Structure 1
Amino acid sequence: MSKLLKIALASALVLGVASTTASADAVKGQKLFIKKFKDACGFNGAKFAAKHSQAEWEAINSNGKFKEELMKICPKVQEGDIKDAWLPHIYDFSHEYANDSGNVPSC
């Protein structure tokens, strides 16, 4: 019985770690914005995220227009400069620090 319990516990741990790494991360989005887009945008991530409310960011993302909105807010950013793998993280950052969230990023 203890062997079965150990296997179940180990599989639960692996599943928990795998699902955590697969999800987007606001901190990673903040780092990506600073590294890849801050200079091209001409302002920091706090000003970028504050361009919309959380509901507006959700609507933009659910309509599949997040990349276009990023290029609209930062006209110097070209579509080729944005990797699709970055978008969930930058979206989470934008949503987390939106103008109605009450959160202020450190960038």
Structure 2
Amino acid sequence: MTKFTKLALAALLGLAVFSTTASADVKKGQKLYMKKMKAACGFTGAKFAAKHTQDEWEAIKGAGKFAEEAAKICPGVKIKPKYINDIYDFSYEYASDSGNVPSC
């Protein structure tokens, strides 16, 4: 193989590894909700996620107001920016119109 082919293959492999680690995770979001938010909210993650439909959660996240909406639902809760994507994925997965029910 030529140097260019080896370099392109290495770059492709690097991007594949990076993209899988950079994605958010529903299970991690569920754990974060249980650890960081459940006590302050006073209700389960199922009730939190069911406050909106999947389309509503998507619009809220798209507008960059997910942390504000979470604070509205659970007064006093502050979500660190690094946790927003995971908790959003959890909320989206278990939204009121999803038919899924979390175990928390």
TM-score, normalising length: structure 1: 0.84
Q: Distance in 1 between matches of 2:68 and 2:99?
A: 25
Specify the alignment match of 1:95 in structure 2: 92
Shift >4 Å, 4+ stretches: 3-11
Unaligned 5+ runs, structure 1:
none
Specify the alignment match of 2:57 in structure 1: 57
What is the identity, as a one-letter code, of the residue corresponding to 1:43? F
Matches within 5 A, 1:25-40: 25-40=25-40
Q: Distance in 2 between matches of 1:4 and 1:84?
A: 38
Q: Offset at 1:102?
A: 1.1
Specify the alignment match of 1:86 in structure 2: 83
Q: How many residues of Structure 1 are paired with residues of Structure 2 in the alignment? A: 104
Identity of matched residues, %? 68
CA RMSD of superposed structures (Å)? 1.8
What is the identity, as a one-letter code, of the residue corresponding to 1:40? A
CA deviation string 1:28-71 (max 9, x = no partner): 11110000000000011111001100000011111111111101
Unaligned 5+ runs, structure 2:
none
